Chain A
Amino acid sequence: DIQMTQSPSSLSASVGDRVTITCQASQDISNYLNWYQQKPGKAPKLLIYDASNLETGVPSRFSGSGSGTDFTLTISSLQPEDIATYYCQRYDNLPWTFGQGTKVEIK
């Protein structure tokens, strides 16, 4: 199975900072990648689909980029409500797999 490796596993940043999370696939997955946000005690929420498309209703400070094996989720200006764990997920072939998650905290 294709493995998804996220980095960093956790980060601490200040409100207003630009935050970047990376996700690397062990093989080329084209743009078949989604990003999710999970707040404590809640279900995940779709943020970005097809690597770079913003889901309806998601703030524009979130953006995604990349293709092939290397992908990035960027929060342009970190807000207190962005405290969460972020997961990438590939869907090029079954089994669909997730990255191990990146926990974002406020400094």
Chain B
Amino acid sequence: EVQLVESGGGLVQPGGSLRLSCAASGFTFSSYWMSWVRQVPVKGLEWVANIKKDGSEKYYVDSVKGRFTISRDNVKNSLYLQMNGLRGEDTAVYYCARVDRVWAFDMWGQGTMVTVSS
């Protein structure tokens, strides 16, 4: 089955760290750019980060630059998001998404909730 499954979300205090994982299956993971997209509960969507097929290029939204790091392991078919210096405004559902050849998010995981609160 073609799917993306996120894990690693939870409750963390402001200033804390969390590492999200996304396990891919059913397709050739190394052939696709991948992204993280987040959604504040009952609100809109925000693109967070992109990573190239081989991991050689990474891009971030300004609000997470210097705090979040996207990475991937093409042997383990996995995508990661290391989040440091977490803030209340980072509270959201985090989705991993596959980027297709026309730069659309054509596959999404089910999402993992990250709550930053004391």
Stretch at the interface among B16-24, B83-91, B103-111: B103-111
Min C-beta distance of A29 to chain B, whole Å? 12
Contacting residues of chain B (25-72) with chain A, CB-CB under 8 angstroms: 44-47, 50, 59, 61-62
Q: Is the CB of A49 within 8 A of B110?
A: no
Stretch at the interface among A19-27, A40-48, A75-83: A40-48
Number of A-B contacts (CB under 8 A): 51
Contact pattern, A 79-107, Cβ under 8 Å of B = 1, otherwise 0 = 00000000101010011111111000000
From A32, A44, A53, A97, give the contact of B103 (CB < 8 A). A32
A sample of 20 cross-chain residue pairs with beta-carbon separation below 8 angstroms, ordered by A number, consists of A34-B105, A36-B45, A43-B111, A44-B45, A44-B95, A44-B105, A46-B104, A46-B106, A49-B102, A55-B104, A89-B45, A94-B59, A95-B61, A95-B62, A96-B47, A97-B46, A98-B44, A98-B45, A99-B44, A101-B45
